[in-house]
Amino acid sequence: MKTGRKHNLLRWRRPSVSERFERFRHEHSLVFAAFVLALTALVVVNTLFMVHTLRREQNVQPVVYSRISTSLQLASNGALQAQVRNVATELSDDLFQVSDIQAVLIMDITIKNTTTRTQQFIPVNQLYVRSEDGTHSALHMSSHAPKPIPASELKPGQSVSGQLSFVIPRSAERPLLYIDTGWDNSTPLVVDVLH
């Protein structure tokens, strides 16, 4: 009888499905709880991020230009002063092709650094013309502007002068010159060049 009992103790019995589930549940309950907690934290953080992003997007306000200068006026935004003079439009160009629906807008400009530190002036990146109908014009080479304004490193109080030329649609009634240097986080200067 003793040998039979010993034999029953050593005999392995396959656990039932419910016993296996119960053992799995006890052994892995801590891991499962950590997984559920991490998943919940991820959902909460994602929700807070989305709410913060939506709130921030609703608070964005468009830049409003308090004033549009005209040519011959000295325009200033606290970081620079600019003056546009001798504005003209030409319907053709001897050296650079211009289509029949376009015109060349030419002007002289002087820009002065009024900040307290040296600034980079890069005309091709910081000057452009927009019209009220939404057309955008970048700087364009022209035989009518033989002395283009150079890219410069302007020290405080230093100025640079030269000519600008843009190809604009002939139908543009009010081309606006934007001087967007970004110096000291300043807003762009806007000059109504034909008025």
Note the pLDDT tens digit of each residue in 99-150: 889 999 999 999 999 999 999 999 999 999 998 778 889 999 898 899 999 9
pLDDT of the residue at 58 = 58
Residues of the chain with pLDDT under 50: 60-61, 63
Write down the domain spans for the chain: 13-58, 69-192
Q: How far apart are CA 130 and CA 69, in angstroms?
A: 14
pLDDT of the residue at 30 = 75
Q: Token pair for residue 32?
A: 């499962």
Using the CB atoms, write b or e for 40-50: b if 16+ within 10 Å.
eeeeeeeeeee
pLDDT of the residue at 109 = 96
Q: Mean pLDDT for the chain?
A: 85
pLDDT of the residue at 181 = 93
Q: Does domain 69-192 have CATH number 2.60.40.1240?
A: yes
pLDDT of the residue at 74 = 92
Nearest in space to 193 (alpha carbons), one of 150, 122, 103, 130: 130
State which amino acid sits at residue 145. Answer: A
Kindly state the greatest CA–CA separation across the chain.
Answer: 122
pLDDT of the residue at 84 = 96
User: DSSP string spanning 113-169?
Assistant: E-SSS-EEE-HHHHEEEE-TT--EE-B---TT-SSBPPPEEEPTT-EEEEEEEEEEE
pTM of the complete model beyond 0.95? no
Q: How far apart are CA 153 and CA 94, in angstroms?
A: 32
CA angle 46, 48, 51 (to 5 degrees): 110
